[in-house]
């Protein structure tokens, strides 16, 4: 391929990098793996660029087809990436020791900044929200691909069949089974819908105020009846307003009540970086991602992996004056 062709390839494919990253992330549940698969996609596309026919497919469709098949190949060597709530019943006893599950390849959050501005992040039917991506992990790889191509990218069944070397009948059957399995997972509109960003952020701001004031009564008013709290890499998780609050109360007892929280955004959802008091300011504790329902905070996922902190560019410490 000549230098001119290489430059042309770069110019034509660069606009699709972010949406390819989002696509690979939905399929794999890992930001790191998704980045690798975008590079693999572009390498495969570059090698085949001389054979690209714009009369048969758009550049977007062609790249997503390559990306989907690259993801399917990668998934042959990878296990699913769940969240704790996908692995069993809630613990609901905050007095029991937390059990680490370091051997589990946990689902990772993705910074909104990596996949576009907030409007873009929310555009694809809530398809980047944690609950949806977590549910995808429990589908067989090919069902996962069919569901994403049909319901997220809105491809016709015939195009999906051509991309995945399946019959249209097989695509429709796989889509039906995938939708049924997501229904069994209990996904609700609050979990995968497209809430008002200002309204959701305002609700989280009230939560932050209550938390930093160690005001359990105010927190109780902000939580839904079945509010869920999970904290990968810990296997324990809690469901129900009272279990949630008891765990928070235990945290205040163990770590104190002096916290700072800075706004963040992940998976098209409001998030915060939480810092606990340390000798020389505040030390990074977690990235917390919120699902906000019409009646309050419905789900909080607390991430504590260093690679997540690095991915979001979170400072390890902030001065005492920050708040």
First to last CA, the chain: 54
pLDDT confidence bin for 269, thresholds 50/70/90: very high
Average pLDDT on 10-22 reads: 94
Contact 146, 160 (CB under 8 A): yes
44-88 residue pLDDT tens: 999 999 999 999 999 999 999 999 999 999 999 988 999 999 999
Q: Specify burial of residue 308 (Cβ count, 10 A radius: 0-12, 13-18, 19+).
A: buried
Model confidence at 120: pLDDT above 80: no
Average pLDDT on 237-245 reads: 97
Bridge partners (DSSP) listed for residue 300: 229, 290
| 3 state SS of 100 | strand
Report the alpha-carbon distance of residue 228 to residue 232 in Å, rounded: 13
pLDDT confidence bin for 321, thresholds 50/70/90: confident
Right CATH number for 1-78 from 1.10.1050.10, 3.20.20.140, 3.90.420.10, 1.10.1740.10? 1.10.1740.10
Q: Which residue has the tokens 């048969």?
A: 56
Report the alpha-carbon distance of residue 270 to residue 3 in Å, rounded: 43
Q: Indicate the domain borders of the chain.
A: 1-78, 195-318
126-163 residue pLDDT tens: 789 999 999 999 999 999 999 999 999 999 999 999 99
CATH of domain 195-318: 3.10.450.50
Model confidence at 188: pLDDT above 70: no
Average pLDDT on 84-103 reads: 92
pLDDT confidence bin for 251, thresholds 50/70/90: very high
Tokens coding 75 = 């998934």
Report the alpha-carbon distance of residue 318 to residue 323 in Å, rounded: 9
* Total-model pTM: 0.92
Domain 1-78 identical in fold to domain 195-318: no
- Torsion over CA: 156, 159, 163, 167 (sign): positive
Average pLDDT taken over every residue of the chain:
92
């Amino acid at each position: 391929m000549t230098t001119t062709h290489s430059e042309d390839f770069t110019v034509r494919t660069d606009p699709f990098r972010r949406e390819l990253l989002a696509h690979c992330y939905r399929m794999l549940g890992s930001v790191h793996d998704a980045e690798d698969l975008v590079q693999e996609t572009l390498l495969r596309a570059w090698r085949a660029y001389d054979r690209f026919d714009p009369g048969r497919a758009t550049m977007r469709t062609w790249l997503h087809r390559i990306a989907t098949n690259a993801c399917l190949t990668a998934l042959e060597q990878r296990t699913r990436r769940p969240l704790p709530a996908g692995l069993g019943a809630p613990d609901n006893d905050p007095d029991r020791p937390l059990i680490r599950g370091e051997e589990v390849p946990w689902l990772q959050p993705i910074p909104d900044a990596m996949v576009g501005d907030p409007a873009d992040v929310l555009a694809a039917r809530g398809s980047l929200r944690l609950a949806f991506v977590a549910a995808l992990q429990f589908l067989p790889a090919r069902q996962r691909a069919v569901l994403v191509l049909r319901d997220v990218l809105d491809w016709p069944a015939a195009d999906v069949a051509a991309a995945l070397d399946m019959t249209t009948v097989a695509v429709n059957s796989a889509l039906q089974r995938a939708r049924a399995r997501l229904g069994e997972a209990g996904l609700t509109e609050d979990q995968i819908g497209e809430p008002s960003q200002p309204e959701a952020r305002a609700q989280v701001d009230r939560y932050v105020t209550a938390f930093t004031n160690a005001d359990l009564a105010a927190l109780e008013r902000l939580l839904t009846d079945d509010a869920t709290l999970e904290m990968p890499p810990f296997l324990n998780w809690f469901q129900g307003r009272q279990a949630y609050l008891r765990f928070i109360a235990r945290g205040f007892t163990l770590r104190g009540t002096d916290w700072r929280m800075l706004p963040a955004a992940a998976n098209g959802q409001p998030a915060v970086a939480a810092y606990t008091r340390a000798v020389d300011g505040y030390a990074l504790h977690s990235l917390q991602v919120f699902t906000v329902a019409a009646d309050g905070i419905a789900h909080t996922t607390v991430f504590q992996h260093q690679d997540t902190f690095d991915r979001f560019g979170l400072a390890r410490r902030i001065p005492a004056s920050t708040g």
